[in-house]
Amino acid sequence: MMKNPFEVLFVLGAGFFYILFAGAYAFSYTVFKMSGKNIYKQLMFAFLVGMLYTSYILTTNGIFDPFWKWLIGFATAVYIFIPFGMWKVVLKIEEHEKELKRKGES
């Protein structure tokens, strides 16, 4: 149970940064794949560590029920793999568009 009212603010901040880090992780992964620059890869891992840390904060506090803690853990695992899957989807779409262009030119 909650012992300190400031714990609610701490968890609220962790939730905010969790979403912020998750989005920044996906964005930096995409920029890294598009540019290939190592700085974006380092940023990607920094945002991933931030997301994992805030996930740890959210799942180890006494505010949430076990259901919500499992949901946060599951969402974190899924968020880690979403950029990889979406990058493959983008590449498939690009391949398909090139194929359609090539067929249209013939």
pLDDT one digit per residue (tens) for the chain, 106 residues:
567 788 888 999 999 999 999 999 999 999 999 999 999 999 999 999 999 999 999 999 878 899 999 999 999 999 999 999 999 999 999 999 999 988 887 5
Measured CA distances, 29 to 50, 57, 60, 68, 70 (Å): 14, 24, 28, 27, 26
Model pTM? 0.84
The sign one gets for the Cα dihedral 86, 90, 95, 99 is positive
Q: In this structure, is residue 45 part of a structural domain?
A: yes
**Owner of token pair 């599951």:** 74
Q: In this structure, is residue 82 part of a structural domain?
A: yes
Domain with 73, as residue range(s), is 6-105
Q: In this structure, is residue 93 part of a structural domain?
A: yes
